[in-house]
């Protein structure tokens, strides 16, 4: 489990395609404290550390992961948001994030609003009913609050700190992002279906 509070902005160091795809990432994490088999949220996708060294770690992505996320578009140098998994007693600064990407969304517009940026995203039709004003959503692993919803589109405000410390600051119209809807919204919708 994660909170959607990104603790490192790293980048893809290398990509090796064999049966699965091996990604190596540059990171500012002290990798001595990361165990092989640990979970790290990589721009919204919970992945397992399979190798590491000073200033880098590696994961293996299956074809399923590549087809359901933006990982298939990553190249050497692509920026990636990282968050290590929660430990008992950690602060819950964002919201409960599983690291299971629900869909890939698309940036519709980016508009300056004061020092912030108002970014509007479009979600696939099957997720439309799960997104509501003032609910939480994880965008590339970043916990954000939805400002408004109109059809399949929703908007968020990205403050300067988040722009600098995550990949959200470099988004442009047409950019693809990993989306995870609020877990509570999913369960409430499921309960309502049964009534």
Q: What residues pair up with 83 in beta bridges, in sequence order? A: 41
pLDDT at 12 over 80: yes
Report residue 86's pLDDT band, with 50, 70 and 90 as the boundaries. Answer: confident
The whole-number average pLDDT for the span 5-24 is 96
Report residue 16's pLDDT band, with 50, 70 and 90 as the boundaries. Answer: very high
The C-alpha atoms of residue 12 and residue 56 are separated, in whole angstroms, by 10
pLDDT at 17 over 90: yes
Average pLDDT, the chain: 94
pLDDT at 194 over 70: no
The whole-number average pLDDT for the span 151-155 is 97
The C-alpha atoms of residue 186 and residue 88 are separated, in whole angstroms, by 25
pLDDT at 41 over 70: yes
Q: Which two tokens stand for residue 23?
A: 């990604």
Domains of the chain (ranges; CATH) run: 8-84 (2.40.30.20), 103-193 (2.40.30.20)
The C-alpha atoms of residue 185 and residue 136 are separated, in whole angstroms, by 9
Sign of the four-CA dihedral 186, 41, 1, 132: negative
- pLDDT, tens digit, 9 for 90 and up, residues 54-82: 999 999 999 999 999 999 999 999 999 99
- pTM of the full predicted structure? 0.93
User: In a 10 Å sphere around its CB, with 0-12 CB exposed, 13-18 middle and 19+ buried, how is residue 112 labelled?
Assistant: exposed
pLDDT at 195 over 60: no
């Amino acid at each position: 489990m994660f909170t959607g509070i990104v603790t490192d902005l790293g980048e893809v160091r290398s990509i090796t395609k064999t049966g699965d795809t091996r990604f190596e990432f540059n990171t500012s994490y002290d990798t001595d404290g990361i165990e092989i088999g640990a979970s790290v949220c990589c721009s919204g996708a919970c992945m397992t550390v399979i190798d590491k060294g000073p200033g880098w770690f590696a994961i293996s992505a299956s074809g399923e992961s590549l087809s359901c996320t933006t990982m298939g578009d990553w190249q050497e140098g692509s920026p990636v948001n990282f968050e290590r998994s929660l430990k008992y007693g950690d602060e819950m600064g964002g919201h409960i994030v599983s690291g299971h990407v629900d869909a890939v969304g698309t940036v519709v517009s980016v508009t300056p609003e004061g020092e912030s940026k108002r970014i509007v995203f479009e979600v696939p039709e099957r997720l439309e009913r799960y997104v509501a004003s003032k609910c939480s959503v994880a965008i590339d692993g970043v916990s954000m609050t939805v400002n408004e919803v109109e059809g399949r589109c929703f908007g968020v405000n990205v403050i300067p700190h988040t722009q600098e410390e995550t990949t959200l600051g470099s988004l442009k119209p047409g950019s693809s992002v990993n989306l995870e809807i609020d877990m509570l919204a999913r369960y409430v919708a499921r309960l309502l279906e049964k009534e």
